[in-house]
Amino acid sequence: MTGENAPAWAREATERLGHWVSTLDVREVDDAVLERLGLVLLDTVGVTALGAALDEHRALRAAWDPPPGPAPLVGAGRCTTVDAAAWLNATALVSLELDEGNKYAKGHPAAHGFPAVLALAAQRDSSGADTAAALLAAYEVAARFGRATRLAPGAHPHGSWGVTGAAAGCARLLGLGPRECAAAIDTAAGMPIAGHFDSALDGNVVRDAWIGASNTSGLAAARLAAAGVARNTGTAALSLGTLLGEFDADELTADLAETWQLTRGYLKRHASCSFTHPAADAVLQLRAHGEIHDVRVEIHVLGAGLARTEWDNRLSAMFSIPFVVAVAALTGEVGPAAYAPEALTDERVRALARRVRVVAADDLTARLPDERAVRVTARYADGTSHTVEVPNPIGDADHHPLTEDDVVALLAAWLPERSPVPEHAVRLAHDLPALPRTGEALRALAGDEEVPECVPSR
């Protein structure tokens, strides 16, 4: 939607969205939606703890030296201030490419706002009902802005349209009215980051920092609205539209409260970019036929650029289809251990990756966005070949969705054996809407039974 009327249309749509956010009541939400929220919350918390255990995140926390506060650093054994927790938890969440995503939003709605909402809820000791409503608002608003935004070629979705979700969730948690919620969302739409997709391919962890910035910018936007200084002018049509791509404001409110974007997402079983997952799933089937010599991956245009056969760190490897395919073929899984230093330099993986060819296929591109399909052909050492076509990655809501048991099993395999985080996360996921207060339950996610109780500030 372009033209001189675009900001007015965006302002009106954001106004309707702000009213929906301010009046969202989990008592009126279907049980199936709340169950999905619990599953996404469980996955988000567990994956954040995985990221927090990485050496670089230990180093980052040491360099940051955050002060004590009421909000948990998930899996890190301590509590800190709201803003520090939102930023550090957000970057840990996305560092292993295991966080939930949504193909219709074209990115990761939960990561853009859940860390900010959870940190603020811990500070305020909010009720479970309000916290659940805020998480729903964060996801739905971010996903709708993702649907509404068509980023310019080369733009990465982290830190752009998703800032609006963090603002919506935090505004709902602060109890703001319709006008103020709309103002917070619109203000956030004027705070996007213009990140290039090649930063991820190059292995630059600024790509993770964009998610941290999204959460803290959303907090700032909600506070501006709470202070009465934010306005709704339809700025998304200018920032997300005119500058960063194209923007269709109608997508913000289409089927609002009837179709929940949360139920259309995907959970991950591979630690890699979602565009690599269908290829990995296909190769896991193909390896049963024998020793794979070379691979041809036909894929939609969105994934065709992930064809690099060289990498020098975990992030660049996670965005390489040849790397992911080679690891899947040789080891039978693509978990966090695939990115250990010795694994990244494994000459067997490098040799096979150089024999993986990635090509764009028009017929597969035509199936977007409902399918992110691949067609993979493996040629074996004996000269035979087999082909497997996969419509979506396993874990997609439309294709073998993961259950709570699946997520718990994955976390148990990846987290330290004695980590208390999964148990606390499962309990929170089940109990959240009914909790009278959330502060204690959220601070338990720090994962250390010796974390001192923090007094929330209201």
- Where do the structural domains in the chain lie, given as residue ranges? 6-264, 274-390
On whether the CB atoms of residues 113 and 99 are closer than 8 A, the answer is no
pLDDT exceeds cutoff 70 at 27: yes
Q: 61-94: per-residue pLDDT in tens?
A: 999 999 999 999 999 999 999 999 999 999 999 9
pLDDT tens profile 149-186: 999 999 999 999 999 999 999 999 999 999 999 999 99
pLDDT number for residue 418: 85
Amino acid at 362: D
Write the pLDDT tens digit of every residue in 93-124: 999 999 999 999 999 999 999 999 999 999 99
**Of 354, 416, 371, 353, which is closest to residue 76 (Cα–Cα)?**
416
Q: Which residues fall within 8 angstroms of residue 306, CB to CB, at 6 or more apart?
A: 201, 273, 275, 276, 319, 320, 321, 358
Q: Where does the pLDDT of residue 453 fall: very low under 50, low under 70, confident under 90, or very high at 90 and above?
A: very low
Question: Which pLDDT value is given to residue 1?
Answer: 52
CATH of domain 6-264: 1.10.4100.10
For the residues 117-138, what does the mean pLDDT come to? 98
How far apart, in whole angstroms, are the C-alpha atoms of residue 30 and residue 27? 8
pLDDT at residue 455, as a whole number: 47
Query: For position 449, what pLDDT does the model report?
Result: 47
pLDDT > 70 in the chain, percent? 97
| pLDDT tens-digit series, residues 259-305 | 999 999 999 999 999 999 999 999 999 999 999 999 999 999 999 99
Going by their DSSP bridges, the two strands 356-360 and 292-299 should be labelled as parallel
Q: In whole angstroms, what is the distance from residue 158 CA to residue 150 CA?
A: 13
pLDDT value of position 3: 58
Q: In the CATH scheme, what is the code of domain 274-390?
A: 3.30.1330.120
| pLDDT at 458 (0 to 100) | 45
High-pLDDT (> 90) share of the chain, %: 95
What's the CA gap between 102 and 356, in Å, rounded? 27
457 has a pLDDT exceeding 70:
no
